[in-house]
């Protein structure tokens, strides 16, 4: 899954910042986007103040062009990827010497979870203890190369946009969910610790168990919000059931579901269990045109699986994405903005 | 909603206890049913021991015939009603002098929430503090006559039997849900207090708010169970949305959803808001054959309502039940067992 972002600035641009996401102009006047622009400009202005030879980029209008190869605002962390890529792209344009941790603090103001996406591999977002949140930063738990066989299969249930954004949803949860305090004080720290240990030990069963429990706990506090936030739907429930059946058949946890702020199921597995996870899902979902072209994995017969759950899944999944743990932001010479300043036509 | 139960015993019956529910023989060898039979027989045997003139009913096989006029094991408290009626019927047969509280303790061993159903009106099941649970009993908060305008409309989403019984579901929740402790220590006592106050004050808004929050909190801990228990489905979510729309339109809480261990929505309202609640639902669900015959309420146009939620509801609701707060177990001369000991043919 990729967000590709190009940032440019020029005196020849109309005198306002613009952001074009998947060919559509976005509102950049919101506080979250403005905070990112302001902080990055401020860092550039400091550089320019200490070195008068540098071009005065900080005062020029910005143009950002960004493209996702996955559904936006559908609970697949498109905001996190988007803000991380935006911040990284502008930082590169401005030639800022900032560390990923510094940029992570800026990106977090765009979308909380964007702080993680400045890093590659396995990343933890630490809660921190300071009231101003300044120590709530992302740190690398392990590089992607530490556990290179980790895979994720995403069942895209619906690409429709969310009724409530993750960030504002979270704020209502904090304010109204009676169970939330217990989650932050006890459950999340426990899961964070268990998850870091599981990754260090490359222990898929422990990883899978805490992945599923953490997802359920998160959605429980969403449901405990008032009015309730219900991201999971019948197709999500069917995905949970099918993963449970796959694990029961294997006699251990070889697949783990997790749901972000939407109904789409992310199913983690180790490459060694590709047949038993991806093959079975391919068999179950049939030869529908939802699989990526390059999938060479043979469909397996789905035996001893809940027939009703399989039918709900078959009817409800619109696309399957196969992905893996990435390396974080990387530079590319492929620009989405042409020499004349216009977005590149594809 | 009614459970009608007749208990009989006779030396002419085959030498084993039998229970016929809705014309179908039930397994009575389970620990829960056995505990109820044993305790009631024991009380009868004590009476017989002190008064040798009494017929020795305690040693005779029992025959119980029971009928619900609502779906069984679908999350509509059929176990609670069933065990309460069973215990009350046998207690009447045995002419036990036991109080409703005494019988409540026995019924609780059949199904926890059955302890409430031995009483009429508004009933609280107190948590109690003793390790053996002996002070976890039901008490009357107010008689039905205190707030006689309370109504409930039930959207029966599915009459299919549950995959997991409420009692065993609850045991898994207690064992595995990380958020459960917070719920029992903080949330439930708070809700119990707020609910008792709301009933005493006949304050529908307060009643409605705590009803909805308590339902959400319960289902949150179900979802936090591992593996998760998800009773709510897409039709349940649509019912939540429609109730939210009705309340938004009214500018205050005039309808309150709650879900027991199943997808069926119970929607409370005060009779004075019948048009705005039942009328709108009748308008929304159309002239489908799901309404009880006697409903004289005029359908209202459903304006400013979420069209998708209405469609999901229309497609997913199989039956509507209109009911009110009842008076608890009452005696009836109508027997479900004929003179010859056979179930009455209907």
Chain B residues within 8 A of A234 when measuring between CB atoms: 233-234
Q: What is the pLDDT of residue B128?
A: 84
User: Hey, is the C-beta of A192 within 8 angstroms of any chain B C-beta?
Assistant: no
pLDDT of residue B131: 87
Confidence tier at A70 by pLDDT (50, 70, 90): confident
The pLDDT of residue B137 is 86
Percent share of chain A, pLDDT over 90: 66
Tell me the nearest-neighbour CA distance from B241 into chain A, angstroms: 9
Residues (pLDDT < 70) of chain B are 158-166, 287-288, 294-295, 346
Nearest-Cα distance to chain B for A254, in Å, is 15
CATH class of the region A149-324? alpha beta
Out of B182, B224, B234, whose CB is closest to A233?
Answer: B234
Nearest CA-CA distance, residue A221 and chain B, Å: 6
d(CA B140, CA B64): 28
Class of domain B3-142: alpha beta
**Distance (Å, whole) CA A1 – CA A70:** 6
Contact call for A212 and B221, based on CB within 8 A: no
For A228, the closest of B182, B216, B225 (CB atoms) is B216
As a whole number of angstroms, the distance between CA A47 and CA A103 comes to 16
Residue among A94, A99, A67 nearest A8 (CA): A94
The answer, for A213 touching chain B at a CB cutoff of 8 Å, is: yes
- For residue A184, the surrounding DSSP H or E stretch is none
Does the beta carbon of A227 lie under 8 angstroms from any beta carbon of chain B? yes
Task: Out of B213, B226, B233, name the one closest to residue A226 (CB).
Answer: B213
Q: Average pLDDT for residues A3-31, to the nearest whole number?
A: 94
User: Which one is predicted more confidently, B196 or A74?
Assistant: B196
Rounded to whole angstroms, the Cα distance separating A240 from A155 reads: 11
Out of A187, A221, A237, closest to residue B220 by CB: A221
pTM score of the predicted model: 0.87
What residue spans define the domains of chain A? 3-142, 149-324
DSSP string, B121-154: SEEEE-----TT-TT--EEEEE-GGGSTTEEEEE
pLDDT in the model for residue A58: 97
User: What are the chain B neighbours of A212 within 8 Å (beta carbons)?
Assistant: 226-227
Count the Cβ atoms, other than its own, within 10 Å of residue A71: 23
Residue in chain A closest to B220 (alpha carbons) equals A220
pLDDT at A196: 97
Residue A148 distance to chain B (closest CA, Å):
28
ipTM: 0.82
Give the nearest partner residue to A216 out of B212, B223, B234, using CB atoms.
Answer: B223
Where does residue A172 rank: exposed (0-12), middle (13-18), buried (19+ CB within 10 A)?
Answer: middle
Q: Which of A224, A239, A240 to mutate to test the interface with B (most CBs of B within 10 A)?
A: A224
**B257 interaction partners in chain A (CB closer than 8 Å):** none
Inform me whether the C-beta atom of residue B164 falls under 8 Å from chain A C-beta atoms.
Answer: no
At residue A294, the pLDDT reads 65
Is the per-residue pLDDT at A287 higher than 90? Answer: no
Q: What is the pLDDT of residues A135-181, one digit of tens each?
A: 888 989 999 999 999 999 999 986 555 556 667 778 888 888 888 88
A149-324 has the same fold as A3-142: no
Neighbours of A201 (CB within 10 A): 11
Query: Left (φ > 0), alpha (ψ -120 to 50) or beta: where does A147 sit?
Result: beta
Nearest CA of chain A to the CA of B345: how many Å?
A: 36
Q: What is the pLDDT of residue B212?
A: 98
* A289 has pLDDT over 90: no
> pLDDT value at position B162?
55
The minimal CB distance from A237 to the residues B179, B221, B230 is found for B230
Per-residue model confidence (pLDDT) at position A295: 67
Interface residue B124 vs chain A (CB under 8 A): no
**Cross-chain residue pair A178–B212, CB shorter than 8 Å:** no
Separation in Å, CA of B60 to nearest CA in chain A: 44
């Amino acid at each position: 899954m990729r967000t590709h972002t190009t940032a440019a600035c020029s005196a020849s641009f109309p005198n306002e910042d613009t952001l074009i996401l998947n060919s559509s102009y976005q509102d950049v006047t919101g506080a979250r986007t403005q905070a990112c622009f302001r902080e990055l400009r401020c860092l550039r202005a400091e550089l320019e103040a200490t070195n008068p030879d540098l071009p005065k980029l900080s005062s020029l209008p910005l143009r950002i062009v960004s493209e996702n190869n996955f559904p936006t605002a559908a609970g697949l962390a498109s905001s996190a990827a988007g803000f991380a890529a935006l911040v990284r792209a502008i930082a590169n344009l401005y030639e800022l010497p900032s560390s990923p941790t510094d940029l992570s603090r800026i990106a977090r103001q765009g979308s909380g979870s964007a702080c993680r996406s400045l890093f590659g591999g396995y990343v933890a977002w630490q809660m921190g203890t300071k009231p101003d949140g300044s120590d709530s930063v992302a740190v690398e738990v392990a590089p992607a190369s530490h556990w290179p066989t980790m895979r994720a299969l995403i069942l895209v249930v619906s690409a429709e946009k969310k009724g409530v954004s993750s960030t504002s949803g979270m704020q209502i949860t904090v304010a109204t969910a009676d169970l939330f305090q217990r989650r932050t004080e006890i459950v999340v720290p426990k899961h964070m610790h268990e998850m870091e240990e599981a990754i260090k030990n490359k222990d898929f069963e422990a990883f899978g168990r805490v992945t599923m429990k953490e997802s359920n706990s998160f959605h429980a506090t969403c449901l405990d919000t008032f009015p309730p936030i219900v991201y999971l739907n019948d197709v999500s429930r069917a995905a949970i059931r099918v993963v449970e059946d796959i694990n029961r058949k294997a006699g251990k946890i070889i697949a783990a579901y997790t749901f972000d702020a939407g109904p789409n199921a992310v199913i983690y597995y180790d490459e060694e269990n590709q047949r038993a996870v991806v093959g079975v899902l391919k068999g179950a979902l049939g030869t529908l045109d939802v699989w990526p072209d390059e999938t060479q994995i043979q469909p397996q017969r789905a035996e001893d699986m809940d027939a009703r759950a399989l039918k709900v899944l078959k009817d409800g999944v619109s696309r399957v994405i196969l992905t893996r743990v990435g390396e974080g932001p990387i530079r590319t010479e492929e620009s989405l903005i042409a020499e004349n300043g216009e977005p590149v036509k594809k």
